[in-house]
């Protein structure tokens, strides 16, 4: 696949041209006004709705950003990828006996399907699947939070990446539905550890704070066959990187994944903090942030920015 788009005789990937393109895409996104900031916990409801950021990190090490790209925000469900990486490494193929790899076609926090399917979540990107993955981490790591944190810090090369403890605590206080998912799985024998400990890990992970620049750097290995382009370190096998990208393509944008594949055509993951990361194999990573969400829980402006950029640069993998 080539991504050489020529604009006015110059490559769009020359840093100046790319920056100009990102700027015009961000300006255009600011006219999208149909989202609503997540309000299921006060700590997220208070975030200013007009934050907006767009970053592109290419495999040659260049990071081009516009807007609030160095402001850390709650990455929420984007963290499901980090948990999954560690669980895949620990469990190998046996992980897929406890969680499926199918799109759910349901909202990210839906419960009904989980009972029909006897406590086996549809995929690791919906809440039930990520809670199951959290159980694997709590059961198989002596310090599951440190394992995630040190991996994340290494991936984005920033030792100060942290967790918003207010978000962590209020997720716990308002976590009845996630607790219901976890106890339902426990009743089917699909959760090994103490449910409260598993939920604590899950909520903690959702409360990680990173900027679009951190996110774009962190996930570069997924665009680079599992190898971090900065350090040269093999983070996952090429096969696991392909598998994670496949799951992101089919389930990363919840029950809007089909529409995202149709209109954008990239593996991607969103979070209710308003962040979205999209992987462009053999090219790089696009990360967007804008807090107001559409009815699927995906950032309205973030979707618009990634769609515009992918379409203008011809980045679809299909
Ligand atoms: N913390 C959120 C929840 O569990 C994460 C969901 C999301 O980002 N889609 O409901």
pLDDT string in tens for the chain (318-residue length): 445 444 444 466 666 799 999 999 999 999 999 899 999 999 999 999 999 999 999 999 999 999 999 999 999 999 999 999 999 999 999 999 999 999 999 999 999 999 999 999 999 999 999 999 999 999 999 999 999 999 999 999 999 999 999 999 999 999 999 999 999 999 999 999 999 999 999 999 999 999 999 999 999 999 999 999 999 999 999 999 999 999 999 999 999 999 999 999 999 999 999 999 999 999 999 999 999 999 999 999 999 999 999 999 999 999
Q: Is residue 318 in some structural domain?
A: no
Cα–Cα distance for residue pair 278/299, rounded to 1 Å = 13
Residue 52: inside a domain: yes
Q: What's phi and psi for 38, nearest 5 deg?
A: -55, 130
| 12 CA distance to ligand 1 middle (Å) | 35
Q: Pocket of ligand 1, candidates 177, 204, 272: which has the most ligand atoms within 8 Å of its Cβ, to mutate? A: 272
- State the total domains in the chain: 1
Read off the CATH number of the domain in which 40 is found: 3.40.710.10
245, part of any domain: yes
Computed over its alpha carbons, how large is the radius of gyration of the chain? 18
Q: 100: CA distance to ligand 1 center in Å?
A: 19
Range of the domain at 269: 2-313
267 belongs to a structural domain: yes
Q: What whole-number distance in Å separates Cα of residue 62 and Cα of residue 67?
A: 17
Cα of 203 from ligand 1 centre, angstroms: 8
| CB-CB neighbours of 85 under 10 Å | 22
H or E stretch covering 275:
strand 275-280
In a domain, 29, yes or no: yes
> What residues does ligand 1 touch, defined as CB less than 6 Å away?
76-77, 108-109, 127, 171, 178, 206, 271-272, 297
Quick check: is 89 in a domain?
yes
């Amino acid at each position: 696949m080539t991504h050489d788009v020529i604009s006015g005789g110059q490559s769009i990937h020359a840093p100046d041209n790319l920056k100009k393109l990102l700027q015009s895409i961000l300006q255009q996104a600011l006219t999208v006004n149909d989202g609503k900031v997540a309000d299921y916990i006060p700590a997220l409801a208070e975030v200013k709705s007009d934050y907006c950021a767009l970053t592109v990190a290419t495999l040659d090490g260049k990071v081009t950003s516009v807007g609030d790209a160095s402001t850390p925000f709650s990455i929420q469900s984007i963290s499901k990828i980090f948990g999954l990486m560690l669980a895949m490494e620990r469990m190998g193929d046996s992980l897929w006996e406890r969680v499926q790899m199918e799109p759910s076609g349901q909202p990210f926090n839906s419960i009904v399907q989980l009972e029909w399917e006897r406590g086996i979540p549809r995929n690791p990107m919906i809440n039930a699947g990520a809670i199951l993955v959290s159980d694997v981490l709590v059961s198989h790591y002596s310090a599951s939070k440190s394992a995630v944190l040190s991996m994340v810090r290494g991936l984005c090369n920033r030792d100060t990446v942290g967790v918003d403890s207010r978000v962590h605590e209020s997720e716990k206080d308002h976590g009845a539905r996630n607790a219901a998912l976890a106890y339902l799985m426990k009743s089917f024998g699909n959760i090994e550890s103490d449910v409260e400990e598993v939920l604590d890990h899950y909520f903690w992970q959702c409360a990680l704070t990173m900027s679009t620049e951190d996110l774009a750097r962190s996930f570069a290995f997924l665009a680079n066959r599992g190898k971090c382009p900065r350090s040269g370190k093999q983070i996952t096998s090429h096969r696991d990187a392909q598998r994670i990208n496949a799951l992101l393509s089919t389930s990363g944008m919840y029950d809007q994944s089909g529409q995202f594949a149709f209109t954008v055509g990239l593996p991607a993951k969103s979070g209710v903090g308003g962040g979205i990361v999209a992987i462009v194999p053999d090219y790089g990573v696009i990360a967007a942030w804008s807090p107001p969400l559409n009815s699927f829980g995906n950032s309205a402006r973030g979707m618009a920015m990634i769609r515009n950029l992918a379409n203008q640069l011809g980045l679809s993998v299909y």
